[in-house]
Amino acid sequence: MKPLSGLKVLDFSTLLPGPYATMLMADLGAEIVRVESPTRDDLVRNMRPQIDGQSAAFRYLNRGKESIALDLKHPESAQVIYKLLEEFDIVLEQFRPGVMARLGLGYEQLKAVKPDLIYCSVTGFGQSGDYADRAGHDLNFLALSGVASHMGRASQGPCPLGVQVADIASGSHPAVIAMLAAVIRRDRQGVGSQIDISMTDNSLALQALLAPGALNGGEQPTYESHFLNGGGFYDYYRTQDDRYLAVGSLEPQFKQRLLETLGATELACLDDMTLKLRLQAIFITEPLEVWQQRFANVDACVEPVLTIAEAADHPVFTSREMIQQGESGELQVASALRFDQQVTPLAKSAPLRGENTDTLLTRAGLAESEISKLRDAGVFG
């Protein structure tokens, strides 16, 4: 039995923050039911490449889940949700503040039906405050929280990242933490919870090493101004073949091994920025493969910058079985959460939109005639 077996979540989210959060929970055994619009597609479903009619990204984010299609604007949809709620623990939603309430599905409305409900809202700017109703994306949240002010190069300014830090690290992860904390609270105190996750708030909170100093008289961090953001030799270095090495040799013992491996121990007395320039002059003289071989057995925090395909074949991941094959033969990143030294097998493939509607409603106690009536009324689209 997986750790979250028996926990049930109604997931009203799309795109990335909510689906990633519920994927983590599904991997741990929770039952996740996606409540999907019958007419408005989750944009991630239509990305490329496609596998069996859904994108590889969608199949990853929504593995192990079920799907019910409901037109939430239909007046009878709320009654269907109220019926489903009888057996569910958590509602996760990602609409702008007030949208769920206008649909009859706000926290107070659902709490009246299920007093111990755990209700988690993930938004860009939270449920209150001056920006609560404002639109935004990952890039905007990082900009407003100060993260982008020191994430880039002095010569170029901020740089967009390929990983959505605000969406996942400031949205998905704190949402999972808060939902599971609320489950513990409910089990101990018998009460539900309303959870407000602001991705901008959590992006500000992520800056654990820089924000405290900046708020208390220290200098404001900017590009390449700190030893962890390129203001020292802790950095990426271009090689002869236009690839890169990551050099993280901060501690004295690692720095010593770095310089010994390069045959450049005389550089130990240089200040960090001068050392950085000298290291770049050395690394540019050979291709990445040469440096990989030279540092392969040296414990100095020096590693190649790999592509995703290269990473998938690297021993650091193959030895941990982090790439697994899905039902249709596609490769997926496995769950990185492990219990009892066991590799978590991949869950079943992501559902098609509305694939489990009849089954879920039947399980909730609706008769076939009631389901047919709802279908004829257009509740399912």
Mean pLDDT on 235-250: 98
DSSP state of 342: B
| pLDDT > 90 fraction of the chain, expressed in percent and rounded | 96
For the segment 157-216, what is each residue's pLDDT rounded down to a tens digit? 999 999 999 999 999 999 999 999 999 999 999 999 999 999 999 999 999 999 999 999
Could you tell me if 29 and 70 are in contact, meaning their C-beta atoms sit under 8 angstroms apart? no
Mean pLDDT on 333-352: 92
Could you tell me if 183 and 5 are in contact, meaning their C-beta atoms sit under 8 angstroms apart? no
* Structural domains present in the chain: 8-206+324-376 (3.40.50.10540), 235-318 (3.30.1540.10)
Q: pTM above 0.75? A: yes
Does the pLDDT value for residue 344 go beyond 90?
A: no
Could you tell me if 72 and 103 are in contact, meaning their C-beta atoms sit under 8 angstroms apart? yes
Contacts of residue 107, defined as CB under 8 A and 6 or more positions apart, other chains included, come to 100, 101, 117, 119, 121, 194
For the segment 119-140, what is each residue's pLDDT rounded down to a tens digit? 999 999 999 999 999 999 999 9
Outline where DSSP puts E strands in the chain.
Answer: 8-11, 31-36, 50-51, 54-55, 65-69, 90-93, 118-123, 152-153, 157-158, 193-198, 235-238, 244-247, 302-304, 323-325, 331-333
pLDDT of residue 328: 87
| pLDDT > 70 fraction of the chain, expressed in percent and rounded | 100
Q: Which residues are catalytic?
A: 137, 167
- Output the six-digit token pair for 329: 């033969």
pLDDT of residue 264: 98
pLDDT of residue 280: 98
- Look-up: residue for tokens 């109604």? 10
Buried b (16+ CB within 10 A) or exposed e, 94-129: bbebebbeebebbbeebeeebeebbbbbbbbbbbee
The whole-angstrom separation of Cα 112 and Cα 82 is 10
